[in-house]
Structure 1
């Protein structure tokens, strides 16, 4: 037999030992899910995405840590001499690879023999595509490319842009010129024009005049 007794709030009640007490369970309001809350078993978001949600850098614009390290090294390099140092590094790698024929090497990296020669002699600042292909063909370790060549190339390229120096140097000029068989343009420097075709048209180069 059970009886229901109403007790005013705040009143102390003494119950016999062993007496059973039923306490009703009242469900509270559902927890709100704000921007700072996650489901109990949800996988944590990556740091870059959390930064994006918090108003930081968007996830697709976050710079990779490796590139940040490269940029830190660039700040320590003398940009005025970076081009010469890079040319010396490339020349050393070329020599250590057995000094392959420049024409053969040029075919492998899809650049002309004259371009290879100008880059290795320090007379021309190469595009990064040249440096990257050069490293792959000669088997240069990726660590050297990332830690040494990439910072040097960036520093040299920034200096070139700041001073307005041409990438290709003075180049070879012939007042007579020639008509390109591929595009019909009148050009006076075959090597430079052929390199342009190689860069823009998947490696296809016009025949020498």
Structure 2
């Protein structure tokens, strides 16, 4: 039976490309803002493009932060993509304006310091040992990025009790930034797997397999 995935519709773009990419790898996909459907699905995708503040406003309008929190409290898988990853952190700063995020991870989304911004195009990533998200992909695999802001410092303190998240990094210019995170049922990517061809499809399959 195909895993049931909801792509959360909170007014952000890129919904249909995420829907098609997930259908391509065997998921049954619904694009909706309905809370019950989002909670009951096997997996929830939180997409996001554009400004951090606008995405948070849209997410708050459908109580998306609460939906994510309720799913995670029950150990139910969530995948954030691009700004959908950024809003999982404490805050974002764009054009001098600070916006509170969902606070699932400590950290600040800020403008990249590279000479050329936005970071647009294909790039490799540095994957930590033990990653399930990138399982089966080679070290030189490229993914598609388009963003001007990112998390440039990982601020979660190590714990002897809780297994630490697996953090994947990428570099644009001389600027390192968080490219993906795997943290229990909460996974996220700064790049767009739905725009990353076969590599992105493989990554989405890995996500689906994590809860099949």
TM range (shorter): under 0.3
**Structure in which a larger fraction of residues adopt helix:** 1
- TM-score if structure 1 supplies the norm length? 0.23
Larger Rg: 1
